Structure 1
Amino acid sequence: MLDLKICPGCGEFAEVPRAEQGRLVCARCGHRREFRRLPLFALTGPSAAGKSTVGPALARLLGDRVVPLEQDVLWTGGLRDDVDGHPAFRSTWLRMAAMIQQSGRPVVLCGTVVPPEFEPLPERVFFSEIHYLALVAEPGVLARRLRARPAWRGWDEPRIAEMLEFNDWLRAEAGRLEPPVRLVDTTTAPLDETVATVCAWVTDRLPRE
């Protein structure tokens, strides 16, 4: 699938893509093409809240309807070194998800992201909506989970403190973000219950046939 930022008519690369009435419009040559503008599902939250556990279950249960992806696979090189909210990293993911959804299945992106990091980006135009659900947990439980991770993952105390701060911020501010972020607390919830909650959240928001 051709990158939606590249015009198939003249090859122009659109730094700021433009969509009008269900079509992408090239600012250089005026070429118009239809594209699938589907919702994106952002399954977010702090590390150790459960995203990487729930994601594979979504692939098993909803794989015929959505494409679950792990955000960290692109957390490399220049994308990781990007600053101020990592806009190049976020933009790359939106471009990738937009290409994948041309197959007709929306993407469920599992990773740490909040609306202010996605909503202002030029690539946001590729999606009808972005839905956000965050898995969170009580700080003490989250800290224990992070300390139990293998040493190669690099979870030292300063990094754990940073993640706990994000967890606290998200729990306090989720409802005031635009759009609001739904919270699911995984502190004591059984895995199958959390999976069922996330599955229902996705399926309730899928486009109707």
Structure 2
Amino acid sequence: MLDLKICPSCGDRADFPQVRDERLVCGECGHGWSFRRLPLFAVTGPSAGGKSTVGPVLADRLRDTVVALEQDVLWTGGLRDDVEGHPLFRSTWLRMAAMIGQSGRPVVLCGTVVPAEFEPLPERVFFSRIHYLALVAEPDVLAARLRARPAWREWDEPRIAEMLAFNEWLRADAATMSPPVDLLDTTDAPVADIASRVTEWIKARLPPDPREPT
């Protein structure tokens, strides 16, 4: 069963999946089964930090090792929940990433997220760890990038101010988050250099053999 919330024995669907001794356990029938409990890599940060630019490069350079995905592809009306932190949207992504991970390749998710929006969710149990790397930049550079975006993206001044505040919050508090968020300043760095540094960051945190189930 690719959907890890569904018991392959009795078919019960768990709202709160359980892991015991590195095996998923059905709360209804007690059946336990092995699965690949891989890390998830969240390449996060403010809009215009460089996530979407570096994503295709990661997909190419690490194509035999990870699956790189763009978070906004699921940002549809049905998942645009109004609850703070967007838990439905986040939970859907964790379920999707966990299913992809059963092929033996961890997911690199490029999109704006912070630990407080992933770590408390029931689906967090599917991952050994979530690693966070935020691409940030100097405020004037970030604002210029946002103002240069196409009109359909609707980056007006109030929205830009909101994103600048998020950028500054990340830069100030990343190290105190749980788990801490690593930072990479993209202000002056060429895309190739940013991609190389993100690639090395991911490689340094990959498990020895992600193809083996736990």
TM-score by length of 2: 0.96
Measured after TM superposition, the shift of residue 190 of structure 1 is: 1.1
1:123-202 matches, cutoff 5 A: 123-202=123-202
Measured after TM superposition, the shift of residue 66 of structure 1 is: 0.3
Q: Distance in 2 between matches of 1:77 and 1:189?
A: 35
1:28: which partner in 2? 28
| Deviation string, structure 1 residues 117-149 (Cα, Å, up to 9, x no partner) | 001111110000100000000011000000000
Measured after TM superposition, the shift of residue 78 of structure 1 is: 2.6
One-letter amino acid matched to 2:153: R
What is the percentage of aligned positions where both structures have the same residue?
Answer: 74
1:84: which partner in 2? 84
SS in 2 for 1:65: coil
Q: Distance in 1 between matches of 2:150 and 2:191?
A: 21
Measured after TM superposition, the shift of residue 83 of structure 1 is: 1.4
* 1:116 and 2:116 correspond: yes
1:49-128 matches, cutoff 5 A: 49-128=49-128
* Residues 18, 24 of structure 1: 8 Å contact kept: yes
RMSD in angstroms over aligned alpha carbons?
Answer: 0.8
* Residues 67, 106 of structure 2: 8 Å contact kept: yes
SS in 1 for 2:80: helix
Measured after TM superposition, the shift of residue 2 of structure 1 is: 2.4
Q: Distance in 2 between matches of 1:105 and 1:22?
A: 18
Q: Distance in 1 between matches of 2:139 and 2:83?
A: 27
Measured after TM superposition, the shift of residue 195 of structure 1 is: 0.6
Q: Distance in 1 between matches of 2:126 and 2:82?
A: 22
* Residues 80, 89 of structure 2: 8 Å contact kept: yes
Q: Distance in 2 between matches of 1:127 and 1:121?
A: 11
| Deviation string, structure 1 residues 16-65 (Cα, Å, up to 9, x no partner) | 00011121100001111110000000000000010001000001000100
One-letter amino acid matched to 1:38: L
SS in 2 for 1:103: coil
Q: Distance in 2 between matches of 1:195 and 1:90?
A: 25
Measured after TM superposition, the shift of residue 10 of structure 1 is: 1.3
Q: Distance in 1 between matches of 2:135 and 2:39?
A: 19
5+ residue gaps in structure 1?
Answer: none
Measured after TM superposition, the shift of residue 82 of structure 1 is: 3.2
* Residues 59, 67 of structure 2: 8 Å contact kept: yes
5+ residue gaps in structure 2?
Answer: 210-214
Q: Figure out how many residues of one structure are paired with residues of the other and give that number.
A: 209
Structure 1 residue ranges, 4+ long, deviating more than 2 angstroms after superposition: none
1:47: which partner in 2? 47
